[in-house]
Structures are given as structure tokens and as C-alpha cells.
Chains A and B, each alone.
Chain A
Amino acid sequence: MIDDAVVVENAEKWFGLNPALANVSLRVHQGEFVVLLGRNGAGKSTLLRVMARLVKPNRGGVRICGVDVARDPERGRERIGLVAHQTFLYPGLSARENLRLHARLHGIEGAGERVAAALSEAGLDLSADRPVRGFSRGMQQRLAIARATLHGPELVLLDEPFTGLDLEAAELLSERLRQWAAAGRTIVMATHNLEQGPEGVTRWVLLDRGRIVTEWTGDSRAARSRYRQFLTGAPDSSVGPRN
């Protein structure tokens, strides 16, 4: 049997008095494309960060491809690539140096070629040796995507990846998402708006106030209308404290 890509069991996380996650369990199979929906502060980001073991849950456990990340966070993180709206890039270093650093931290063999290939794939051949500080927002985003997936992660996590992207970078990201899905990578994406509805999503998971409210399958048009309904209507689920 193949291990599930992500298993979150009864995860609970408190920030002070506020529960960011309240008893969340989620299982993502290999090759699935799961979208986490919810308002700002519903716990999507925290859930992603619990998966990557950046956040230590107060209770509950996480396994990534069969690896218990509490026990062996490094082996869990090896399999993860995170694309977020922050770029994680060092502005003082060039594009190539940024990727090289990432390659060395991941212990990638033949780093030079992999880095060169990733740079040309991101369309950054010409500016590869210029410091990132001078890059446009779109270029930085392209580099950030190249960086997050340089080590060929089995599991790609995306945290509001479309926020602040220019049109070109957004198209590139959609293209990448299609490629990854086709290549059988597992994708978990958190977002609060579905304007750039991704394609090929296998499952939608709706979070509110740190809980999984409901989940469904289907295409993105149906999901969009269902999510809009949640945001505007359904008084029973939107009244009350939310974070």
C-alpha cells in the first residue's frame, strides 16, 4: 500500500486564547489536488504550516508520506515544497545564488545543472546573476516558484499563491499547477478567493474558525458558487466569533 501524502490527525493549535486549529483531521491521497477554502484567518495557513512542521501543534499528529514529522521533521520537509505569497528569497543574492543555496540545503546532486535548468524554465537566464533586489515582482515570483520546486517535492503546498501576482506570473503558476497535477504530484493549496479558479482540483475543503466545515468534489465553477454562498448566506455558519 502506498502511504497517503498527508495525514493530519486531530490537530489542535492555540495562539494565546484563540484556537487557530480545533481538532482538524485531513487525509490527502497521493496525486490529489486539494484546495483549502476559507476566510482570512480561518486556519488554512496554520494547517499548511503544521504540515511543514513550522508550527508545532498543541495536540495531534502529522504524517507526510508515512513520515511522522514530530519525530523526523527533516525527512518530512524533504518531500515538501511551499509556495507562498512571500518569496523566501535573499534580496542581496543573485537568482542563481538563491537557488544554489536551496540546492545545497537539500543536498541535491549535480546542483549546477539543475539550477541552470530551473532558471531557464523560469525564463530568468538573462538575469540569473543579478541580485534579486532589482527584480520585478513577477520575476521574483517566478524565481520563488522555481526555488520551491527545485528539489522535486512529492507534495507541493501553496499558501495564497495568487495574491499579488501579475498576470504573467499568475498564468505561469496555473500552467505549473497543471504540470504538477499531470505528473502525479500531490498539491494542497490554501486560498480565500476563487477568482483565479484552479483547474483539475479533486477535492475542496472548507475551513471556518479553525474547523473543517465541509468538503466536496467537483469542478471549480460549482465550487465557486458554493463558496460564495458560504461567504454571503448560510447565517448559521457565519455568525459568531471568527478569527
Chain B
Amino acid sequence: MIDLQKYLGLLALLAMMAALYAIFVLAPVELTMGIVQKIFYFHVASAWVGFLAIYLVCFCSLRFLRKRDRQWDVRAASAAEVGAVFLTLNLVSGPIWAKPVWGIWWTWDARLTTTFVLWLIYMGYLMLRRLVESPEQRARLSAVVSIFGAVNALVVYMANRWWRTQHPQPVIAGGEDSGLHPDMWLALSVTLLALALLFFCLWKMGCDLERSRESVESLRRIAQRHLREVR
């Protein structure tokens, strides 16, 4: 068990080095945006990982509702925590890139808005978990909410896209996916791999942490009971 985590961590570290190399050495500097475009790789990859995580949370939640095995709840919770971190990373790196390139920190385009909404859904999910006392109830209620969140993420994205095509606005974003240099593609793929490995490593650690937290909690409860009885 511990070995798996070590290997994952090691792999993530190696992939991260490779990603840095690919981004800063291999991939060419973008013509119009210059060096600041390098942020693109981590920015996009973290968004993808953050988005996939909500479906992982949803999947684990469905498994929990079917099996009623606490392990699936732990997995869902931990995936949500790590997913939220990745999405935060994306939301922070976005404006840093946008300001020098577009001249503004933020724009309400479909992708940004969806990311923002998804981030709020993650926050609601995590807050809900803190505010429900009984562990069993917490697992059930948060599982239901995560299903709604995952479905809604899609709906928000579609609605926003339709909105923008309905009312064409000065398009500021656009071209970065179109006509990506092959080396840029390579750098993006390697970064994605690195972040995905990092995600799984952190996810695994989160699950273990949660499990130890629970055993500590139950041990403490047993100890308290013994103390009460001795008195």
C-alpha cells in the first residue's frame, strides 16, 4: 500500500521534471504572447484534472450509494478535496496569464464561468461535509449533492456556450487550441500526465489520511468510554 504511494509520488516527480523541460526548453515561445504563454500548460492541464475529478467524485458517490461501503465515501471526499485544489490552481493561474495578454484579469466566457461555478460546487460539497454531524448521513447527503454537481457542470457549460453564441461578444480568447505547435502539444500532454499522476498520488494520500483520522477518532471514543467506566 505504502509502496504504491511512493511509486506514484516518484513517478509524479519525474513527470513533473519532464513537463518543466518540455515547457521551457522544447516548446517554442509563442509569437504574440511571448514567455507568459508558458503558463498555459499548467493552466489547461489543471483545469482538465479538476474537471475530471468531479466525475470521479460522482462515480465514487454512486458506488457508495450502491455498496454502502465507507471506503467509497472516503475516496469521494478525498477526490473532491484534491480536485478543488487543482481547480483553484487553474483559477489563480488564469488571471495571471490573462492580464498581460488580454489586458483584463477576468472575462465571463463559457469556460471561465463554468470553472468558477464548478469551483463553487466543490466548495458547497466540502462545506456540506463539515456541517453534517453523523458520518453515515454525511456520506449519503454529500453523495447526492455530488451527483447534482456533476450533472450541473455539464449543463452550465452548455448553457454558457449557447449564451455566447447567441450574443456574440468581442471574442478575446479563441485561438490557443487552434494550430498548436507539435512541441506545444507534447509539452501539454506531458504536463497533463504529470498533474494526473500528482492528482492520484494526493488522492491516495488523502484517503489514507482520512482513514487514520477515523481510526484515531474511534480509538479516542473507546478510550473515553473506558475512562467513564473506570470512574
Q: Which residues on A are within 8 Å of B, measured CB to CB?
A: 14-18, 56, 58, 238-242
Of the candidates B135, B136, B225, the one having the most CB atoms from chain A within 10 angstroms of its own CB is B136
- In whole angstroms, what is the CA distance A58 to B72 when docked? 14
B222 contacts chain A at the CB level, 8 A cutoff: yes
Given contacts A14-B136, A16-B134, A16-B136, contact A242 B225 (CB under 8 A): yes
Q: Are A15 and B136 in contact (CB under 8 A)?
A: yes
Interface size class on chain B is: 10 to 19
Q: Which residues of A contact B68 (CB under 8 A)?
A: 56, 58
Q: How far is the CB of B3 from chain A (nearest CB, A)?
A: 26
B229 contacts chain A at the CB level, 8 A cutoff: yes
Residue of B at shortest CB range from A18?
Answer: B218
Residue interface mask B216-229, A partner, CB < 8 A = 1: 01100110011001
Given contacts A16-B70, A17-B215, A17-B218, 4 further A-B contacts (CB under 8 A): A16-B214, A17-B70, A17-B135, A18-B218
- 28 residue pairs of the A-B complex, CB under 8 angstroms, read A14-B70, A14-B136, A15-B134, A15-B135, A15-B136, A16-B70, A16-B134, A16-B135, A16-B136, A16-B214, A17-B70, A17-B135, A17-B214, A17-B215, A17-B217, A17-B218, A18-B218, A18-B221, A56-B68, A58-B68, A238-B229, A239-B229, A240-B226, A241-B221, A241-B222, A241-B225, A241-B226, A242-B225
Q: How far is the CB of A20 from chain B (nearest CB, A)?
A: 9
- In whole angstroms, what is the CA distance A242 to B221 when docked? 10
Residue of A at shortest CB range from B68?
Answer: A58
Interface of B (DSSP majority class): helix
Residue of A at shortest CB range from B137?
Answer: A15
Q: Which residues of B contact A14 (CB under 8 A)?
A: 70, 136
Residue interface mask B47-70, A partner, CB < 8 A = 1: 000000000000000000000101
Q: Which residues of B contact A56 (CB under 8 A)?
A: 68
- In whole angstroms, what is the CA distance A14 to B215 when docked? 15
Residue of B at shortest CB range from A13?
Answer: B136
Q: How far is the CB of A183 from chain B (nearest CB, A)?
A: 38
Q: Which residues of B contact A239 (CB under 8 A)?
A: 229
Residue interface mask B191-231, A partner, CB < 8 A = 1: 00000000000000000000000110110011001100100
Residue of B at shortest CB range from A17?
Answer: B218
Q: Which residues of B contact A241 (CB under 8 A)?
A: 221-222, 225-226
Residue of A at shortest CB range from B73?
Answer: A16
- In whole angstroms, what is the CA distance A14 to B73 when docked? 14
Interface residues of B in 101-115 (CB under 8 A from A): none
